[in-house]
Amino acid sequence: MQQDKELYRTFSRRAAILLGTQAVLFGALGARMYYLQVVEGDRYSLLAEENRINLRLLPPPRGRILDRFGVPLATNDQNYRVVVVAEQTDDVAQTLAALGRLVPLDPEERQRILKEVGKKRAFVPITVKENLDWPVVASIEVNTPDLPGLSIESERSRNYPFGGLAAHVLGYVGSVAEADLTGDPLLELPGFRIGKSGAEKQYDLALRGSAGNSQVEVNAVGRVIRELARVEGQPGADLYVSLDMALQNFVQQRLAAQLSGSAVLLDVMTGEILAMASTPTFDPSVFDRGLTSAEWQGLVGDKLKPLSNKALIGQYAPGSTFKMMVALAGLEAGIGAEHSVYCPGVMALGNARFHCWKKGGHGTLDMIGGLRHSCDVYFYDLARRVGIDAIAAMSRRFGFGSPLGIDMPGERGGVIPDRAWKQATLGDIWHPGETLVAGIGQGFIQTTPLQLAVMTARIANGGYGVIPHIRRDGEFRASRIVGRDGGGAGSVTVPPYPSLGIAPEHLGVVIEGMNQVSNNPRGTAYRVRIDTPGFELAGKTGTAQVRRITMSERATGVRKNEDLPWEQRDHALFVGFAPVHAPRYAVSVVIEHGGGGSAVAGPIARDVLLEAQLRDPVRRRPDATLAHRDVG
């Protein structure tokens, strides 16, 4: 009996322990279930919902680019592509073979498609061919029953209606590279394009817009079941640029006969770029569809550099177009316009001889005569008297030696040397002969065509520091200062930019010199004058050597440009403004290895200035048919 009681007590204790343990376990389980279902219920519900519902970004339409009159320069066209879904066909290779009878597919493309099919889920569409035109799309749609797994999708592609006419200004769009990633989820979308150069790059964020989104229900393996909600994105903003496409077309066509060159036309009061052309050019549309390796190598390997905006990044010795800077430095230093120099055709400095372009010399000239005849000896003398530091200081006031700040990427600043620059850059002192060479725009001096146009504009507008820009908006307007008479004859129009502090009488000397270059029968550019009354131009020729002429060659006769290899010929330059008595337009033209400035660059500049005046929006409307014309 006693033993039975002991067994019963033992059993009871064990049962109690077991029941207690079970109670603890069930309590813990209940607490955990409470925690998961009540405390953390919302969180796990959200996770489950996120597994069921995907939020997908929708790329917004890219903003258009239009010229100053609203002519579209960059638009978005419908782009059709054919895709294949592997699960919808028994044999992808056979389907591709059938498609090949309608659309050419090379072996590499077929291999790429089959490789992607092997990597991705069977329900994921694989792009077969892009940029299909409508007849091809129609033929595929008609033959759909014989092309299982294939379907047509549409998207937007960037189109440039005028091809290469403004390619260097507009730039182009291309695929997002790893270096372009900034954390913006838009950049990670397949096929998304961003601006890579020109205005497309400068204003990419505004043109890009903001993404929309689509909520889609998916199953466990990621297949889309249905779309639950859709919010369209904010399209990119339209960008109005200052270009006049009719003028841009004219300038580009005038340059087309040259192997390599550039031209800039701008409004001297506002700084708006009306035309900026570079030759050779390229078609920016090919970058949107994607270049082949051969196409890319052809562009980057071309010695004429078709991808380079030479107006913005080309750096050249300005030659005689720089003489206005030397003249202004001399005038500011107290050397009057009446200062005369006798030119026998050469100037000696120690043992060195510095030659004038005219072998027999020009005789005695004052400053205006020196500009009219572009006498090298006159400006050797003036530069020697003024010194390189004063010339450099004046040049920088007119925009040389550093970027001007145009709203385009990649601008170069050129080089304006002085004593400090040479010591810091080359570790050497400045030599007197280098001042003489700088006096005619040679030596270390490097300028861009844009800087030459801005220099000309700042001379023409009365000495105001106009800044060039490509965006068209209301911020850059010429201001009218009303004279004491309340208007009329006492009114003058001035740019909304600070004065450079140049004495008006000094500018008057230089402007008269440029006027005589073009309109005096003895001027170096008289043959490229505008003889229409009221449209006359004032200009300056320039010829920049790219090779050294030896004493032996001078003794036997300097070889003509046409007898030299193209790479050794002089650069041809011309700058000018018009009309002379009420300046509004400034132009610079640089033709690489073109020879003489008056013979090659001058006629182009003259035609551009005349065309600009004939198309002046104050008097005439732009050519309304341009937007519909095939201009290549």
Read off the DSSP letter of residue 587. E
Beta bridge partners of 229: 215
Average pLDDT of the residues in 299-305: 89
Q: Could you tell me if 359 and 385 lie in one domain?
A: yes
Give the total residue count for the chain.
Answer: 632
Domain containing 507 equals 245-292+310-628
Q: What is the CATH number of the domain that holds 411?
A: 3.40.710.10
Amino acid in the structure at residue 61: P
Q: Which tops the pLDDT comparison, 131 or 353? A: 353
The answer to whether residue 131 is domain-embedded is yes
User: Where is the domain boundary, 196, 225, 240?
Assistant: 240
Asked which of 189-203, 330-344, 582-596 is least confident by mean pLDDT, the reply is 189-203
Amino acid in the structure at residue 85: V
* Listed residue (612, 578, 575, 617) closest to 249, CA to CA: 612
Q: At what angle do helices 92-99 and 107-119 cross, to 10 degrees?
A: 150
The answer to whether residue 258 is domain-embedded is yes
pLDDT band of residue 489 (cuts 50, 70, 90) is very low
Q: Could you tell me if 623 and 563 lie in one domain?
A: yes
Instruction: Specify the pLDDT at position 46.
Output: 45
Catalytic residue among 308, 320, 374, 598: 320
Whether residue 366 is predicted with pLDDT greater than 70 in this model: the reply is: yes
Instruction: Specify the pLDDT at position 227.
Output: 55
User: Cα–chain-centroid distance for residue 39?
Assistant: 58
Amino acid in the structure at residue 206: A
Whether residue 468 is predicted with pLDDT greater than 90 in this model: the reply is: yes
Q: Could you tell me if 545 and 604 lie in one domain?
A: yes
pLDDT band of residue 558 (cuts 50, 70, 90) is low
Instruction: Specify the pLDDT at position 456.
Output: 98
The answer to whether residue 497 is domain-embedded is yes
The answer for residues whose C-beta is within 8 angstroms of residue 364's C-beta and 6 or more apart is 340, 341, 342, 343
Q: Is 414 left (phi over 0), alpha (psi -120 to 50) or beta?
A: left
Whether residue 72 is predicted with pLDDT greater than 60 in this model: the reply is: yes
The answer to whether residue 287 is domain-embedded is yes
Asked which of 309-318, 443-452, 557-566 is least confident by mean pLDDT, the reply is 557-566
**How many domains, the chain?**
2
Instruction: Specify the pLDDT at position 70.
Output: 93
Distance CA 262, CA 601 (A): 10
Q: Which tops the pLDDT comparison, 371 or 185? A: 371
| pLDDT single digits (tens) 343-365 | 999 999 988 999 999 989 999 99
The answer to whether residue 123 is domain-embedded is yes
Whether residue 621 is predicted with pLDDT greater than 60 in this model: the reply is: no
Whether residue 507 is predicted with pLDDT greater than 50 in this model: the reply is: yes
- Render 260-273 in DSSP notation, one character per residue: SEEEEEEETTT-BE
Whether residue 47 is predicted with pLDDT greater than 50 in this model: the reply is: no
Q: Could you tell me if 107 and 204 lie in one domain?
A: yes
Average pLDDT of the residues in 410-414: 95
Whether residue 395 is predicted with pLDDT greater than 90 in this model: the reply is: yes
Asked which of 194-198, 276-280, 296-300, 504-508 is least confident by mean pLDDT, the reply is 296-300
E strands present in 429-555: 479-481, 492-494, 538-544
User: Where is the domain boundary, 221, 240, 259?
Assistant: 240
Q: Could you tell me if 147 and 254 lie in one domain?
A: no
Instruction: Specify the pLDDT at position 562.
Output: 62
pLDDT band of residue 179 (cuts 50, 70, 90) is confident
Q: Could you tell me if 485 and 427 lie in one domain?
A: yes
Q: Could you tell me if 256 and 346 lie in one domain?
A: yes
Average pLDDT of the residues in 316-323: 96
User: Where is the domain boundary, 178, 208, 240?
Assistant: 240
Q: Could you tell me if 414 and 468 lie in one domain?
A: yes
Whether 320 is a known active-site residue: answer yes
Mean pLDDT is highest, among 189-198, 215-224, 493-502, 578-587, for: 578-587
User: Cα–chain-centroid distance for residue 176?
Assistant: 18
Distance CA 606, CA 608 (A): 5
Q: What is the CATH number of the domain that holds 71?
A: 3.90.1310.10
Amino acid in the structure at residue 125: P
pLDDT band of residue 100 (cuts 50, 70, 90) is confident
Q: Which tops the pLDDT comparison, 616 or 604? A: 604
Instruction: Specify the pLDDT at position 92.
Output: 86
Instruction: Specify the pLDDT at position 544.
Output: 83
Average pLDDT, the chain: 84
Distance CA 203, CA 73 (A): 15
Q: Could you tell me if 249 and 160 lie in one domain?
A: no
Q: Could you tell me if 456 and 576 lie in one domain?
A: yes
Q: Which tops the pLDDT comparison, 257 or 5? A: 257
Asked which of 47-51, 145-149, 223-227, 554-558 is least confident by mean pLDDT, the reply is 47-51
* Listed residue (260, 265, 266) closest to 278, CA to CA: 260
Radius of gyration of the chain (CA): 36
Whether residue 588 is predicted with pLDDT greater than 80 in this model: the reply is: yes
Q: Could you tell me if 235 and 267 lie in one domain?
A: no
Whether residue 335 is predicted with pLDDT greater than 90 in this model: the reply is: yes
| pLDDT single digits (tens) 229-245 | 666 778 889 999 999 99
Q: Could you tell me if 228 and 196 lie in one domain?
A: yes
The answer to whether residue 37 is domain-embedded is no
pLDDT band of residue 40 (cuts 50, 70, 90) is low
Whether residue 27 is predicted with pLDDT greater than 80 in this model: the reply is: no
The answer to whether residue 24 is domain-embedded is no
Does residue 597 contact residue 320 with C-beta atoms inside 8 Å?
yes
The answer to whether residue 145 is domain-embedded is yes
Instruction: Specify the pLDDT at position 482.
Output: 33
